[in-house]
Structure 1
Amino acid sequence: MTAATPTSPATSKEEEAMSTNPTAESRRPGGWRDIAVIVAISSVVIAIFSLAVMGFTSLDSKIDAQRVEIRQDNAELRRVIDAQSAEFSKDNAELRRVIDAQSAEFSKANDAQNAELRKIVTDTGDKFERLYNALLTERKGD
């Protein structure tokens, strides 16, 4: 015997509610779709956070690598600056020796010229004194 299952008014209301409101199914007992949606949304959120953490970790490692590279560049620049500073100090010391030697030569030449000028002044003074004495003697004799 086959009996036709009569549709009850309650079942038709459920079908109508489900066709117009898709979340109505989740209100039924055993709402497995709610759990699936929650799990799916949670999975997406976890995946987004995982990607963000991976991105920050990658970014952090890149920053660390750049810091190491910058420190190495700074150390190399310091070595170059120290080498140039030592070279400049050496050149400066050499220039001071040259200047001191030239100053000593100039002082010798200046002292020699001063001695020569003193001799000329002394000789001129002596000649002037003799001439003056000769003129005085000549006037007294007149």
Structure 2
Amino acid sequence: MLFRRGDEVTMRDVDRLDHDQLAAGLMEGAVGVWVVEAAMRLIIRHGALLKNQRFLDFVIVDPDGTAAIDFDAAVAAFEAGALPLEYDEDRNILYIAASLVGRVAIRLKEFIDSNDPTAIKHIAEAMMYADGYLNGVAEPGAGVV
């Protein structure tokens, strides 16, 4: 995506990064704060939001390559209809990640429905990670009698 900086037309910094570089930048920008790391892992592992060019408008990339997501602006844009999300699951991931970093308060039940099993696994693991279970693995069906 192109944007204007004075008279110069240039690419957004986020557009200069491939998926792996962006993921690394988001994790580096969150390093040491488990709840933020958990939110970034959720966004990265789910993947759909990082493929949404409109969502990438809310990713800030610093010159050192670290990156962050402006969750306040992304949620506000979604609620105003300016950030189209193709599936309910994408909305759910956005809100859960924003909640993990303390930017929105949600009723978790409202954002658990309509997710596929892989997304539920990612959500559960993000919550575990946020609480310090950094290597926690959610195993769907484990313990079911």
Greater per-residue helix proportion = 1
Which is higher, the Rg of structure 1 or of structure 2?
Answer: 1
TM above 0.5, yes or no, is no
> Structure with the greater relative contact order (CA < 8 A, sep ≥ 6): 1 or 2?
2
Normalized against structure 2, the TM-score is what?
0.19
TM-score by length of 1: 0.19
Higher strand proportion (structure 1 or 2): 2
